[in-house]
Amino acid sequence: MTPDNLQALASDGARHGQRIIRLRGPLSLHTVFDFQGAVRSETSPHLIIDFSDVPFVDSSGLGALVGVQVSAQKSGRTLGFVGMNTQIITLMEMTKIRALFQIYSTLQEAEAAAA
């Protein structure tokens, strides 16, 4: 995997109606369309996106996160994020958008909240 690749692996969550997308690689200008495609292909009512293997997010990636959050809200779906590192959280706080997102420390917390 080169630095400009993003992999997205989808699987079922612990509960009915939950799907988990596990990302691997940066969420950046070069990978934002792969991210958007992976999220748009999921139609479950509860989607959890795992950022445990995402080393960084740039401003394009941040914009994509806002876009998927707004889309989920409009369609009545829940969206949770797990495994975000300090760089991603700090970027959200600096841009004052942290409150838009449901961020959990563990996958188990995210699955329990999306019941």
Q: What is the pLDDT along the chain (115 residues), one digit of tens a residue?
A: 455 799 999 999 888 889 999 999 999 999 999 999 999 999 899 999 999 999 999 999 999 999 999 999 999 999 999 999 999 999 999 999 999 999 999 999 999 987 6
C-alpha separations of 53 from 43, 49, 103 in Å: 23, 11, 15
In 3D space, the residue among 42, 40, 33 whose CA is nearest the CA of residue 12 turns out to be 42
SS3 45: coil
DSSP run (H or E) holding 47: strand 46-53
Fold assignment, 7-113: Transcription Regulator spoIIAA (3.30.750)
Stated pTM of the model: 0.92
> Helix, strand, coil: what percent of the chain each, to 5?
40, 25, 35
